[in-house]
Amino acid sequence: MSGIDAVAAAQALSEIGYLLRQNPDEKFRARAFSDAAWAIALERPDLAALHESGGLTSLAGVGAGIAKVLTELVETGHSRYLDRLREETGQPARDDESSLDLAEYQGDLHAHTKWSDGRATMLEMAQGAQALGYRYLGVTDHSPRIKVVNGLDAARLLAQSQEMAEVQKQVEGLTLLQGIEVDILEDGALDLPDVVLEILDFVIASPHVKLRQEPEAMTHRMLRAVSHPHVDLIGHPTGRRPGSREGATYDFEAVFKEAARHGVAVEIDCDPARMDLSPEMARLALECGCNFALSSDAHAPNEFAYVPMGAWMARRAGIPQDRILNWRPVEALTKTSK
Ligand SMILES: [Zn+2]
Ligand SMILES: [Zn+2]
């Protein structure tokens, strides 16, 4: 028996969910695979033991079909179903995939709290990150433009920093970073003034609205955002939601090259509803010289588990650990901040 651990199994099921999601007719099956992947990434069951006792279907969200895939994964370390989906979508296995040791993942740089549209308090999110053994957590709520999510202006960011100082005292071993997920406006300007962005520990700039701009205008918009002196990371760079919403189209190569030139990293957003890059796009960004962040974009503590289930995309893109910010110690992140 070659065996497969829970994290590797979660990645396989998650990749199946992603590939199925490209086909709108497979929406529900895609969701079932992603949900099962999430449950396994959260609970880390002993799959070999469950298989032995015939108990795979006792796992949350695992019916007969998914159990069959899991059985093959446990017995052979492989899934022919996944291989077939890869072939069908023109993404066969490659021999230059990377390997990532998730036990060495230092911390998540993209998470929301009740300060904007998160469903948990900052303390609950911090304790969730601490329980996972993370060394840091980037608290990156939304900027003011996104009114529906109660985005933060300068005054609320100041209030948030006061709460953070209190929460920090309660989570030994975890460093809280105050960041923002600032909206990239239609012309590429950012939704908060420089004087505010400057004092934050970490700045994610993300496109949220008007994603269907003309490619030329969108390219200009993204080039301007990655050139901004305070931006550290481009969040979910296309905004695509496979199977339900087309994302932004622009000159990816030009934008990734410019990002690399400015030391701005590119995000792989591991939320299964997002997963807005593709392995090919992530590979292009790698070749353009970009660094990456592997983020959960968590809105509740149980969503931190999106990272282990979504790590397959970085592996498939051949991204080595040393090109991903989350494998660097917190000191390296704060020292290199621009
Ligand atoms: Zn976002
Ligand atoms: Zn977010």
Q: What values do phi and psi take at 92, rounded to 5? A: -65, 165
- Is residue 268 within 8 A of residue 310, CB to CB? The reply is yes
* DSSP state at residue 120: S
pLDDT digits (tens, 9 = 90+) for 256-313: 999 999 999 999 999 999 999 999 999 999 999 999 999 999 999 999 999 999 999 9
Q: Beta-carbon neighbour count of residue 198 at 10 Å?
A: 12
144 Cα: distance to centroid of ligand 2 (angstroms):
13
66 Cα: distance to centroid of ligand 2 (angstroms):
30
pLDDT digits (tens, 9 = 90+) for 116-172: 999 999 999 999 999 999 999 999 999 999 777 889 999 999 999 999 999 999 999
Closest ligand, as measured to the CA of 191: 1
Looking at residue 1, its pLDDT comes to 45
Closest ligand, as measured to the CA of 139: 2
49 Cα: distance to centroid of ligand 2 (angstroms):
37
Q: What is the pTM of this model?
A: 0.95
141 Cα: distance to centroid of ligand 1 (angstroms):
9
> Would you report the helix, strand and coil content of the chain in percent, each value rounded to 5?
50, 15, 40
Pairing of strands 202-206, 292-295: unpaired
Q: What is the DSSP string of 191-241?
A: SS-HHHHHHSSEEEEE--S-TTS-HHHHHHHHHHHHT-TT--EE-SSS--B
For residues 39-47, give the mean pLDDT. Answer: 96
Q: Please, what is the end-to-end C-alpha distance for the chain in angstroms? A: 49
For residues 314-336, give the mean pLDDT. Answer: 90
Residues recorded for the chain: 338
Looking at residue 40, its pLDDT comes to 97
108 Cα: distance to centroid of ligand 2 (angstroms):
12
Average predicted confidence (pLDDT) for the chain? 95
256 Cα: distance to centroid of ligand 1 (angstroms):
18
Q: How confident is the model at residue 327 (pLDDT cuts 50, 70, 90)?
A: very high
